[in-house]
Structure 1
Amino acid sequence: MKKILKRISIFLLIGYVGTGLFLYLNQRSLLYFPTPNISTSYTQITFQNQGESIHIIVLNKGHENAILYFGGNAESMAQSSDEIARQFPAFTVYLMDYRGYGGSTGEANEEGLYSDALKLYDTVKPKHDCIAIGGRSLGTGIATYVAAHREVSKLALITPFDSIINVAQEMYPIFPISYLLHDGYDSLSRIKEINAKTLIIIAQKDKVITKERTQQLIDAFDTDQLQVMTIKNRGHIDISSDATYYKMMQDFIGEGCD
């Protein structure tokens, strides 16, 4: 019996270590899902940053106020372009292809995406009176970073999380995730540095980002700074297909810098 238990223990240990090693070695392929480069009729610009070529789609050129939008980890900016352009006709909107996504070179990583996002902001800010920031899912981690380091008129966070470390820890509770992950996207630690009025939109049936992960973020904001809205009967993926989704964003961002 002791030999059997010992063998079982060895097999379990090997399985545990093997799975942990797999997660460590493949973590970025489990976090980032690069989208192909799809042609679009919208204006496109490219800037160089840290040796990479970063591709931007520009919607509704020529407006005084702008929106920078950072999408989810599998979201194609080219495919999102038509709907976003239609919903925000009074704003110039900039959609950034993450490194390795669309027309951008390189491989996605947290520090690189932060640097690209700040470079985008600094590049377009002289052209506009004010800039609002929108982020969805993974993009909320980038949006909070920009809002903590630059002047932002409004900040809209769709299905946000407190940190990727905490999200992953819920998914893999038996592993020491904080020691394994390279990219943490710790939005929670930056909230006190954000001065912009903020909207958080929650999908009631979100199975990817749990209520606790979003609630931790909500609790960190000053109550007079934050609006929280829930879209019922929608999940993490189909939240933007609800008729009220863009209405919430439009009402919040408004026509100006207020």
Structure 2
Amino acid sequence: MRILQALRLMRLWAAAGLALLYLAGCTDRDAWQRSMLYHPQPARQAGESLMLPVDGATLQISLRLRPGAPAILYFGGNAEDVSGTLPQLARLFPGHALYLMHYRGYGQSTGEPSEPALHADALALYEHVRREHTEIKLIGRSLGSGVAARLASEQAVARLALITPYDSIENVAVEHYPWLPVRWLIRDRFDSAAVAGRISAPTTLIAAEHDTLIRPGRTAQLARHFKPGVARSVVVPGSNHNDIGTHPVYERALVEALAAD
């Protein structure tokens, strides 16, 4: 009897120990989730830039000025140096002014990135740009698709292109970490599906066929939340999350997405 009691006690202690380890892991996830989501990059490409003061920080904006021309605002991925993206956009959109935002902590931008900060900064950039440009278009890639989608749901924009977009970062995280209580832990949800119905600008969703980070199914789920006729989807064949920008189909789709009516 004593042996059985001892075995039961050992099982209880083992279960308690595993539970404590699991909770400790969850606590670490909560503490580390922002470092997992944001991967600040230095600005490696020389070029013209603007230092834009915002609440609690100063943002570096890589740009190509075209006074009075239509403007494109670009919000990049979580590990993207947007100064390296500028040359491609300059080639694809020679008649547009370009403004590419380095998130807080990226490039020469100060501060710490978070969902509320990124949304506030996107609005500040929009307000700055519309003083000089009457027509504004948006591009959001990966993480930045959530920033661009929310901005488009709140402000007047002419066109919107979302590259490898998701319905929410929360749902992406659930797919990648099914053993964790992600919905309880996550803070920065970037819920694009919740705002998609408020977007009226013609929108193009560009997905990578073999994307294993933001799977095409997440993009398809996002598409269902737009009002009929607002959004169309393009899948770039043979591409993955990181190399989608090198495919000719991608470049054609992006140019068509922001083309004038």
TM-score (norm 2): 0.93
Q: 2:16 aligns with which of 10, 21, 26?
A: 10
Partner of 2:52: 47
Which has the larger displacement, 106-115 or 81-90? 81-90
Conserved in 2, the CA contact under 8 Å of 1:63 and 1:90?
Answer: no
Which has the larger displacement, 60-69 or 78-87? 60-69
Q: Give the alignment of 1:22-171 within 5 angstroms.
A: 22-41=28-47, 43-62=48-67, 64-171=69-176
Conserved in 1, the CA contact under 8 Å of 2:43 and 2:82?
Answer: no
Tell me which structure has the larger Cα radius of gyration.
2
* Structure 2: runs of 5 or more not aligned: 1-6
What is the CA–CA distance in structure 2 between the aligned matches of 1:9 and 1:109, rounded to whole Å?
A: 36
What is the CA–CA distance in structure 1 between the aligned matches of 2:245 and 2:24, rounded to whole Å?
A: 38
Conserved in 1, the CA contact under 8 Å of 2:105 and 2:111?
Answer: yes
Specify the code of the residue in structure 2 equivalent to 1:199.
T
Conserved in 1, the CA contact under 8 Å of 2:160 and 2:257?
Answer: no
Cα deviation for residue 45 of structure 1 reads: 1.0
User: SS of the counterpart of 1:229?
Assistant: strand
Give CA-to-partner distance per residue, 1:6-26, whole Å, 9 cap, x none: 344233212211211110011
Cα deviation for residue 209 of structure 1 reads: 1.0
What is the CA–CA distance in structure 2 between the aligned matches of 1:65 and 1:37, rounded to whole Å?
A: 25
Conserved in 2, the CA contact under 8 Å of 1:31 and 1:73?
Answer: yes
Q: 2:250 aligns with which of 232, 237, 245?
A: 245
Cα deviation for residue 102 of structure 1 reads: 0.3
Which has the larger displacement, 52-61 or 149-158? 52-61
Conserved in 2, the CA contact under 8 Å of 1:161 and 1:209?
Answer: yes
Aligned residues, how many?
255
User: SS of the counterpart of 2:85?
Assistant: helix
What is the CA–CA distance in structure 1 between the aligned matches of 2:165 and 2:69, rounded to whole Å?
A: 28
What is the CA–CA distance in structure 2 between the aligned matches of 1:191 and 1:226, rounded to whole Å?
A: 9
Cα deviation for residue 3 of structure 1 reads: 4.3
Give CA-to-partner distance per residue, 1:109-133, whole Å, 9 cap, x none: 1111111100101111121131110
Q: Give the alignment of 1:187-226 within 5 angstroms.
A: 187-226=192-231
Question: Which 4+ runs in 1 deviate beyond 4 A?
Answer: none
Cα deviation for residue 63 of structure 1 reads: 5.0
* Structure 1: runs of 5 or more not aligned: none
What is the CA–CA distance in structure 1 between the aligned matches of 2:11 and 2:212, rounded to whole Å?
A: 37
Partner of 1:178: 183
What is the CA–CA distance in structure 2 between the aligned matches of 1:95 and 1:248, rounded to whole Å?
A: 19
Percentage of pairs with the same residue: 36
Conserved in 2, the CA contact under 8 Å of 1:60 and 1:90?
Answer: no
Specify the code of the residue in structure 1 equivalent to 2:75.
F
What is the CA–CA distance in structure 2 between the aligned matches of 1:200 and 1:110, rounded to whole Å?
A: 21
User: SS of the counterpart of 2:79?
Assistant: coil
Conserved in 2, the CA contact under 8 Å of 1:66 and 1:128?
Answer: yes
Cα deviation for residue 68 of structure 1 reads: 0.4
What is the CA–CA distance in structure 2 between the aligned matches of 1:39 and 1:245, rounded to whole Å?
A: 23
Q: Does 1:232 align with 2:237?
A: yes
User: SS of the counterpart of 1:133?
Assistant: strand
Cα deviation for residue 184 of structure 1 reads: 1.0
Conserved in 1, the CA contact under 8 Å of 2:236 and 2:250?
Answer: yes
What is the CA–CA distance in structure 2 between the aligned matches of 1:199 and 1:144, rounded to whole Å?
A: 11
Distance 1:147 1:209, change over 3 A: same
User: SS of the counterpart of 1:230?
Assistant: strand
